[in-house]
Amino acid sequence: MGNNALSRRNFLAGTSVLFVAGVATACSSGSSSSSTAGSKVTLTQWYHAYGEKGTQQAVERYASEYTKANPDIAIKINWIAGDYETRLNSALLSSDAPDLFELGDFRAANVKSGRLAPLDDILAPVKSDYAKAALDTATVNGKVYGVKMMDDVMMLYYRKSILAKAGVTPPQTFPELVAAAKKLTTGNQKGLFIGSDGVGDIPYLLLWSNGGDLVDPSGKTVTFASPEGVAAIGGLKDLNSSGALLQGFTTDWFDPSALVQNATAMQWCGLWAMPDIKKKFGDDFGVIPWPKFGDAAAPAVRVGGWYHLVNAKGKNVEAAKKYVDWLWIQQTALQKDWCVSYGFHIPSRKSVAAQTTEFSSGPAQEAAGFSQQYGHSFPAVWNKTTTTAFIQAATKIAKGGDAAGELASAAKTCQIELDHQNA
């Protein structure tokens, strides 16, 4: 090769810089530990990465307060970015399984696979403080397996001034929403943002806003491929072909950036983002539920929320339960701090909610009202498998696929999964 040989040293010097840059961007999750020198037990706790400023510091502060009061117990917090549930599920099979973790919406399948420890003893004194639904969802065979941390309401934000300027009133029905979105699309600003992919969570909202549901109340039969479901989810096609939908934005629907940066006039987002939106626009925004699909149905909002759970197969189940008891049962001041000091979440406990003033006026109060009046939640049998099948079908429909056929085939996949869970 003679003169032509690559100089290995020059080559490495040039490329290693890029390598380091690549590696640095690939890892965006972090962990921290509240350990003191004398701690005998270290509990690992997992959170998904909340987007609001100060949240990670808050959970770290809670952990170190606990360690200060209980020097024997250190808490190591893992803050997980990206696809939280997939990473959690694989970690739970390994020796790095967290002792305690949160999970968005409750999954009964985790009880069946023996992953969750029952929490009846710590919940017993405060059971009446929770909404019945929050307890029922987390109950399997008479035992409660999760402590609901907070309720997250998702709804449609709109800019009052932009709607007024365009002569548009907040839409009451789905056709009105499509028409409004088209009318609000001008120049670089689109009318509506429901997710970077043009799908987001909206298939669920369309289904609920036409009187349909995912599964029947027993949790045994898939029902989304009903005529109401086919008609309503077919509406995604109208949205996607309207030219009024913001797509390919650099953040997704759960982040308020699209609205805050004036890329859209209306955005589907969560109550958690309200402080950021208020900071930017003051009173120049309003909230409405997802409009009803036809005249016969009712509007809908999704009520999600996170449960705190204890790994039944962990080495320190009792210590982990004690920490959950301390943080999510006893420390009502910290619960309030968590729910209103960063993003907004409605406290799941009535007594804590009563201490807050944030939800007694303005859009936050309306949002709390929507959750009471129009709220829908995922059933406990709804999991990753059913989500993937359902959203894939909806994506195909959004891009022009046949609604009845796609939903029927997704329903078949979901029914197999439900039968497995109920077997």
Partner 1 sequence: MPSATPTRRTASRPAGGAPPRRRANWRAIGAFALLTGPMVIGLGVFKYLAIGWSFLLSFNEARGTLTPGHWVGFDNYAFLLKDDSFRSSLWMIVGFTAFIVPVTFVLSLALAVGVNSVRRGRAFFRTTFLLPAAVSYVAASLIWKMALFNGLPSGIANALGGLFGMHVQPWLSSTDPPLYWFVIVTLRLWLQVGLYMILFLAGLQSIPPHLYEAAALDGAGRWKTFRSITFPLLRHTNAAILMLVFIAAFQAFDEFFNLFNTGQAGNASAPVRPPLVYLYDSALGDQNYGVGSAGAFILTALIVVVTLVQGRLAGFGRKD
The residue among 21 and 354 lying less far from partner 1, judged by its C-beta, is: 21
State yes or no: residue 199 binds partner 1 (CB under 8 A): yes
State yes or no: residue 141 binds partner 1 (CB under 8 A): no
**Number of residues located near partner 1, criterion CB under 8 A:** 60
Residues counted in the chain: 423
Which residues touch 379 (CB under 8 Å, ≥6 apart)? Answer: 137, 214, 215, 219
Using alpha carbons only, give the angle 284, 288, 293 rounded to the nearest 5 degrees. 145
State yes or no: residue 357 binds partner 1 (CB under 8 A): no
Provide the sign of the torsion angle of the four alpha carbons 20, 24, 25, 27, taken in this order.
positive
State yes or no: residue 392 binds partner 1 (CB under 8 A): yes
* Single residue of 127, 399, 419, 422 touching partner 1 by CB under 8 A: 399
Residue list 237-296, contact with partner 1 (CB under 8 A): 246-250, 252, 254, 263
State yes or no: residue 387 binds partner 1 (CB under 8 A): yes
The residue among 93 and 354 lying less far from partner 1, judged by its C-beta, is: 93
The residue among 195 and 299 lying less far from partner 1, judged by its C-beta, is: 195
Measured CA to CA in angstroms, residue 171 lies from 154, 157, 161, 271 at distances of: 17, 11, 15, 19
* Min dist. Cβ of residue 202 to partner 1 (A): 11
Enumerate the β-bridge partners of residue 116: 311
Region of 148-156, 196-204, 212-220, 314-322 interacting with partner 1 (CB under 8 A): 196-204
Query: What secondary structure letter does DSSP report for 357?
Result: S
The residue among 15 and 330 lying less far from partner 1, judged by its C-beta, is: 15
* Single residue of 15, 31, 186, 365 touching partner 1 by CB under 8 A: 15
Dist. CA 121–CA 299, nearest whole Å? 38
Per-residue tokens: 363: 């859009």
At how many degrees (to 10) do helices 274-281 and 362-374 cross? 140
Pick the closest to residue 101 from 37, 139, 145 (CA basis): 145
The residue among 11 and 365 lying less far from partner 1, judged by its C-beta, is: 11
State yes or no: residue 419 binds partner 1 (CB under 8 A): no
* Min dist. Cβ of residue 25 to partner 1 (A): 5
State yes or no: residue 18 binds partner 1 (CB under 8 A): yes
Provide the sign of the torsion angle of the four alpha carbons 37, 42, 43, 47, taken in this order.
positive
* Single residue of 98, 195, 256, 314 touching partner 1 by CB under 8 A: 195
Region of 135-143, 199-207, 277-285, 326-334 interacting with partner 1 (CB under 8 A): 199-207
| Helix or strand holding residue 43 (H, E) | strand 41-48
Amino acid code (one letter) for 395: T
What are the start-end ranges of the H helices in 70-138?
84-92, 109-112, 120-123, 132-137
Using alpha carbons only, give the angle 88, 63, 113 rounded to the nearest 5 degrees. 30
Dist. CA 288–CA 180, nearest whole Å? 14
| Dihedral of the alpha carbons of 342, 322, 138, 145, in degrees to the nearest 10 | 150
Strands (E), 215-279: 264-270
Region of 84-92, 153-161, 213-221, 288-296 interacting with partner 1 (CB under 8 A): 84-92
Strands (E), 84-161: 100-104, 139-140, 143-144, 147-158
* Min dist. Cβ of residue 380 to partner 1 (A): 15
Region of 7-15, 265-273, 283-291, 336-344 interacting with partner 1 (CB under 8 A): 7-15
State yes or no: residue 85 binds partner 1 (CB under 8 A): yes
Per-residue tokens: 354: 């009563």
The residue among 15 and 161 lying less far from partner 1, judged by its C-beta, is: 15
State yes or no: residue 90 binds partner 1 (CB under 8 A): yes
State yes or no: residue 30 binds partner 1 (CB under 8 A): no
* Single residue of 54, 72, 93, 283 touching partner 1 by CB under 8 A: 93
* Min dist. Cβ of residue 227 to partner 1 (A): 23
The footprint of partner 1 (CB under 8 A) covers: 1, 4, 6-7, 10-11, 14-16, 18-19, 21-23, 25-26, 48, 82-86, 89-90, 93, 104, 109, 113, 115, 188, 195-201, 246-250, 252, 254, 263, 383-385, 387-388, 390-392, 394-395, 399-400, 409, 417, 420
